[in-house]
Structure 1
Amino acid sequence: MKVAVIGAGIVGATAAYYLSKEDNLEITVFDYGRGQATKAAAGIISPWFSKRRNKAWYRMARLGADFYQTLVADLQADGFATDFYKQTGVYLLKNDETKLTELQELAKDRRKEAPLIGHLELLNHSKVAVDFPDLEGFNKLLFASGGARVEGAHLTKTLLAASACQLVSKKVTVSLSEQGYLISDQIFDQVILAAGAWLPDLLAPLGYKVDIRPQKGQLRDYFFEGLVTEDLPVVMPEGELDIIPFKSGQISIGASHENDQGYDLTVDSSILAKLETEALKYFPKLREASSFSERVGTRAYTSDFAPFYGQLPENPGLFVASGLGSSGLTTGPLIAKELVNLLTGQTGLLDKDDYRADKYITKTP
């Protein structure tokens, strides 16, 4: 059976990897290579502190965090390095620090079904200074040892290498034929559409309307000479700002959430300057960076901010996923594995009816 995956971001790359483990499948991945949210993402895997009321979303995010343990183990068993992911812990900051105790109690309760949260502890500034001496702007914070950071571009590159699938770097369309689905002069039996914010463009010619809007996200990577950053915890103040240390003296700051920029991919230095000003309150050493670079991507959101995945009822050979938003690096690998399970007739971890694609995708009159 010939299977096409359109989009090589977090969902598409993970799907390609797990499809490659199945027998009797010939897999081709198509990716335009422009605007992909994953390549512009420095992710934090720490969903347990969210107060979103959507229980189905939280279950997906919690199990998505757990699924990284499986993904990492599978890639290591296949002989691939997994330094794109590391559990360095997370520091949570609140403007009103009296709320940290409430947050700790919430996490303790959730730890009963999510032991990955790990050790929880309220730390004062002097204790934090032992491990993260340059962090400022707080009297106390909440530490959770299970929090992790992910480098999105590195992850997808590893997944695609591990899949050994054919990768075609071009913009494509999908059309129906009597033999199956026509993509780039090839016929496919099954297709996974993992194009994120560009899903409406792919489905419009097939007569579908999709509840998706684009959101621009920008971040800046700062590079330091002689600064040991690999084991530093991720810092999560309130608001859009996150401070994400990686290895080799890299610290990422971001990311913005811009709802009025459409699919624009130009760097807006004024937005990044605002994020930098905020970050300096917590990490003044940022001024000592020897260089920096910038990344821009486009996230996909639904009108109710919930992700979806599944088959299209009118075209059961089409599998779709989108609407992951800013939690895409947390939920993406699990969503991809659930799509692969659907395509191959296996049982998944999630109740697919909680994330029905036809709630967000409708046939046009």
Structure 2
Amino acid sequence: MQKKIAVIGGGIVGATASYYLARAGHSVSVFDSGNGQATAAAAGIICPWLSRRRNKKWYRLVSEGAAFYDQLLADLASDGFSTDAYARCGALILGQSADYIQEVHDRALERRELAPLIGSVAILKGHELEKAFPPLANTEQALRVAGGARVDGHELTKTLLQAVTHFGGTIHKETVSLAKDNDGTLSVMRLEGPQNFDAIILAAGAWLPQLLQPLGYTVDVRGQKGQLVVLQTDDRGSQNYPVIMPQGEIDLLPFGHGKTIVGASHENDKEYDLQPDASVTDPMLEQARTWLPHLKEAAIADIRIGTRAYTSDFSPFFGSVPGLQNCFAASGLGSSGLTSGPLIGYMLAELAQGRESSLPTEDYPVAAYVKSIGH
């Protein structure tokens, strides 16, 4: 039975949910203002297996999220939407000491037993390292993880939304709010008035509090500003390079046609500020150029800024919103949003169709972070 479904938020979570719902024949309306998407400011490395985090539920989510890309890209291709936004190009991990590289190497081998997608793992030096990434400098050794991937979230989201419209969905670049009638019916408030849906998915990330607080909820979600810089080089072989993950915050992502992305920043004190800040991006670029000197000649093609969503314990959540019928939400993905976001979007689409999620929602409970005032 066809349902009329609203998706508020057109980032990677909302776009994936909308794609699978529209693909299944539902009438989908996507609402997004176009401002501050976390997806736009995500560096886009898919290599979650090396994390030191000990949260098993989080690790399962990101590990299965990395594997889900195969299904997502295959589904898009079967629908006629091929994209080069994603590539399993491998990852190079740089460290300040040989001990650090060895530690990450051993962790990768241990986790590969349950995550074969990691692929081959090797410490590269000398000629091997130069062959893997010719422009790389000031580095004596690096760990190569073959299963690492890169994704341009901005481009992938555009492709997903194109597929949504192909299947009859509509995209609305506008800010909306929610209203609840006396009988509990939830409506999407647009400029032309309230609109009712059979189900509503809230994929607004760091803006989830602004949607739910007027309905009497407290939401344990805060924003974190992220900036990344898109550089244009003359290196036409860049699509063959692995991504670079130095020890620290920033990453380096070579794409095709000479494009390289540097980022992203993690600015807890700026939250929802969407203005570019050279005092943050300039040091990022300076650091990037120590490893890739050819970036000194690169032109800045774009600066992307967005706001990530974090919970107080850094755990993501998704599922039904307590007290709101046929309303589903996800948030708190933090810096792993591009890794887990597509899978979570798919899970929300399943829930909105009355199906069960393959990941237990009780492991990522909405009710732990979204609470009705007075309850």
Residue 181 of structure 1, CA deviation: 2.2
Instruction: Describe the superposition over 1:116-151 as per-residue Cα deviations: whole angstroms up to 9, x where unpaired.
Output: 111111100321112311102221111011110000
Q: Quote how far apart the aligned CAs of 1:179 are.
A: 8.1
Query: Corresponding residue for 2:174?
Result: 170
Point out the more displaced range, 132-141 or 352-361: 132-141
Contact 1:308 1:321 in 2 (8 A): yes
Distance 1:179 1:37 in 2: 31
Is the CA contact 1:125–1:138 (under 8 Å) kept in the aligned structure 2?
no
Q: Please tell me whether residue 271 in structure 1 is matched to residue 295 in structure 2.
A: no
Task: Quote the Cα distance in structure 1 between the aligned partners of 2:116 and 2:276.
Answer: 39
Q: Which residue of 2 aligns with 1:88?
A: 89
**Unpaired stretches in structure 2, ≥5 consecutive residues:** none
Once the 2 structures are TM-superposed, how far is the Cα of residue 226 of structure 1 from its aligned partner?
4.4
Q: 2:336 aligns with which of 302, 327, 333?
A: 327
Match of 1:2 in 2: 4
What's the offset of the Cα at 1:321? Answer: 0.3
Aligned length: 364
Aligned residue runs from structure 1 range 47-62, under 5 A: 47-62=48-63
Task: State whether residues 228 and 303 of structure 2, in contact with CA within 8 Å, keep that contact through their aligned partners in structure 1.
Answer: yes
Q: Deviations over 1:235-265 (max 9, x none)?
A: 0001111010011101111110000012111
Structure 2 counterpart of 1:192, one-letter code: I
2:294 corresponds in structure 1 to 285
Q: Which amino acid aligns with 1:19?
A: L
Give the equivalent residue in structure 1 for 2:353: 344
State how 1:1-365 maps to structure 2 within 5 Å: 1-23=3-25, 25-164=26-165, 165-177=169-181, 178=183, 180-183=185-188, 184=190, 185-365=194-374
- Tell me the distance in 1 between the aligned counterparts of 2:83 and 2:207: 29
- The CA deviation string for residues 196-249 of structure 1, in whole angstroms up to 9 with x for no partner, is 110000001111110011000001111012442111100000111101001110
The answer for unaligned runs of 5 or more in structure 1 is: none
Structure 1 residue 102, shift from structure 2 partner: 2.4
C-alpha separation in 2, matches of 1:261 and 1:208: 24
User: Partner amino acid for 1:239?
Assistant: G
Distance 2:10 2:21 in 1: 13
- Note the C-alpha offset of 1:42: 3.1
SS at match of 1:219: strand
| Cα distance in 1 between the residues matched to 2:141 and 2:171 | 48
Shift of the 232–187 alpha-carbon distance from structure 1 to 2, 3 Å rule, reads same
Q: Secondary structure at the match of 2:269?
A: coil
Structure 1 counterpart SS, 2:147: coil
Partners in 1 of 2:186 and 2:171 — Cα distance?
18
Measure the CA separation in 1 of the matches of 2:338 and 2:155.
12
Tell me how far apart the structure 2 counterparts of residues 345 and 190 of structure 1 sit (CA, whole Å): 10
Aligned Cα RMSD in Å? 1.3
SS of 2:241's equivalent in the other structure is coil
2: distance between equivalents of 1:291 and 1:203? Answer: 38
> What does the per-residue CA deviation read over 1:258-295, in whole Å, with 9 as the maximum and x for residues that have no partner?
00012111100010111112112211111121443211
Range that drifts further, 70-79 or 123-132: 123-132
**Contact map agreement 1:225 1:290 (CA 8 A) in 2:** no
- Structure 1 residue 170, shift from structure 2 partner: 0.6
Percent of residue pairs bearing the same amino acid type = 47
Aligned 8 A contact 2:44 2:150 in 1: yes
